[in-house]
Amino acid sequence: MTSLNSNKTVLIIGGGIAGLTAALALNRLGISVELLEKTAALGGKARHFCCKATDACQQCGACMVNDALRALSFTALAGDPPLTVRLETELTAVHREAKEFLYSYRSPEGAGEGRAAALLIAAGFDPFRAEDKPQYGYGRFPNVLTGLDLEKQLQQTGRIVRPSDGLPPQSLAFIQCVGSRDLHLGHPYCSQVCCGYALRLANLIRHRQPETAVTIFYMDIQTFGKEFPRFLTETRRRLHFIRAIPGDIQSAESDRLLLTFQPEDGSPTRQQTFDLVVLSIGLTPGKDLSPLVGLLDLPLNADGFLAKKGPAFSLTAAEGVFLAGAVAGPRSIARSVGQAHQAAEEIAGYLWEGGAG
């Protein structure tokens, strides 16, 4: 696409991998960008993910965040057209006037206002709250962790230990689909990414701590990437798979954890004890989205994520408002990046066609 050479500004809400990628792509197209991020740092959830490389890269996508942050520091230095990032900043009001959006925000430096020709919402998702599945004892049993806890522990220390005694676990279980594919919780959808991150984390643990036996409790394994069949065949050699989702977790001696489950083949209920359990939590709609949804009168899809309109990748029902990343539903880092590029192209097309006057 040719450069737009426009002095129009696109306002981006959210500085995770989707917002960052779109900001850079728009800026490269010659469009000025104002990005509002409500926390004190850019990068979103993926900022806390570890590199899952074993002997080879496992294609988890986590390093895309650092790549984007590095690219942003060069772009910000160049400064033409401007790419402004405001941290700890939230939109307080927005309305359309003619074909522009007039908006206000609150930041640590005080309140501010601006005008934008288009809006991109990249406000992401919330990880499922494991406490909302009380039968698994998250928050009560120290050795029940979530996938996010495990990502953080591996990123910070490179190894996995039991929080109760600091010792490496001899046995570890992953429970898949926690908070997803669950009608009781009102989350019938598949979260798309938790099979991928759990299997990669399990491979990484087996690689770094081969004394740890890893069992995966699952319903189905969601495919990801074209290399998936080979990846799964190799992974099956290193891990133990049980096709059952445990009904509950109880505390056992020495802070171990007793899992009760019904094997898929109809054989009697079984129990097995583990040193550590990881809940593969899924993605839920961001609870902070409601003010944005209200301000812009945006429709939601059946799962509660923001709905896009028609065959376009990122357009919503509200004119001039676009979406990128997991705000529109569960997706991986790589897919969020791909979609953010697509959104940038669609926004440039919209501005080019005079969509914003």
Ligand X SMILES: Cc1cc2nc3c(=O)[nH]c(=O)nc-3n(C[C@H](O)[C@H](O)[C@H](O)COP(=O)(O)OP(=O)(O)OC[C@H]3O[C@@H](n4cnc5c(N)ncnc54)[C@H](O)[C@@H]3O)c2cc1C
Partner from ligand X, ligand SF4, none binding residue 53, C-beta < 5-8 Å depending on class? ligand SF4
Binding residue for ligand SF4, selected from 4, 63, 161, 293, defined by CB under 6 A:
63
Q: Taking CB under 6 A as the rule, does residue 169 contact ligand X? A: no
- How far from the centroid of its chain's Cα atoms is residue 93's Cα? 26
In the complex, minimum distance from the CB of residue 51 to ligand X, in angstroms, rounded to a whole number:
10
Q: Taking CB under 6 A as the rule, does residue 13 contact ligand X? A: yes
Q: Taking CB under 6 A as the rule, does residue 39 contact ligand X? A: yes
Q: Taking CB under 6 A as the rule, does residue 288 contact ligand X? A: yes
Q: Taking CB under 6 A as the rule, does residue 16 contact ligand X? A: yes
Instruction: Considering the complex, state which of residue 63 and residue 298 has its C-beta at the smaller distance from ligand SF4.
Output: 63
Number of residues that bind ligand SF4 (CB under 6 A): 23
Distances (CA, A) of 221 to 38, 153, 177, 243, 270: 34, 25, 10, 10, 22
Instruction: Considering the complex, state which of residue 26 and residue 256 has its C-beta at the smaller distance from ligand X.
Output: 26
Q: What is the 3-state secondary structure (H, E, C) of the chain?
A: CCCCCCCCEEEEECCEHHHHHHHHHHHHCCCEEEEECCCCCCEHHHHHCCCCCCCCCCCCCCHHHHHHHHHHHHHHHHCCCCEEEECCCEEEEEEEECCEEEEEEEECCEEEEEEECEEEECCCEEECCHHHCHHHCECCECCEEEHHHHHHHHHHHCCCCCCCCCCCCCEEEEEEEECCCECCCCECCCCCCHHHHHHHHHHHHHHHCCCCEEEEECCCCCCCCCCHHHHHHHHHHHCEEECCCCCEEEECHHHCEEEEECCCCCCCCEEEEECEEEEEECEEECCCHHHHHHHHCCCECCCCCECCCCCCCCECCCCCEEECHHHHCCCCHHHHHHHHHHHHHHHHHHHHCCCCC
Q: Which stretch binds ligand SF4 (CB under 6 A): 119-127, 190-198, 264-272, 288-296?
A: 190-198
Q: Taking CB under 6 A as the rule, does residue 14 contact ligand SF4? A: no
Q: Which stretch binds ligand X (CB under 6 A): 73-81, 205-213, 257-265, 324-332?
A: 324-332
Q: Taking CB under 6 A as the rule, does residue 150 contact ligand SF4? A: no
Q: CB count, 10 Å around CB of 267?
A: 8
Q: Taking CB under 6 A as the rule, does residue 201 contact ligand SF4? A: no
Binding residue for ligand SF4, selected from 165, 220, 234, 297, defined by CB under 6 A:
220
Restricting to residues 120-159, name those near ligand X by CB under 6 A: 122-125, 127, 147-148, 151
Instruction: Considering the complex, state which of residue 171 and residue 203 has its C-beta at the smaller distance from ligand X.
Output: 203
In the complex, minimum distance from the CB of residue 2 to ligand X, in angstroms, rounded to a whole number:
27
Q: Taking CB under 6 A as the rule, does residue 58 contact ligand SF4? A: yes
Positions in the binding site for ligand SF4 (CB under 6 A): 51-53, 57-63, 176-177, 180-181, 190-192, 194-195, 220, 222, 280, 282
Positions in the binding site for ligand X (CB under 6 A): 13-19, 36-39, 44-46, 49, 60-62, 90, 122-125, 127, 147-148, 151, 193, 197, 281, 283, 286, 288, 292, 325-327, 331-334, 336
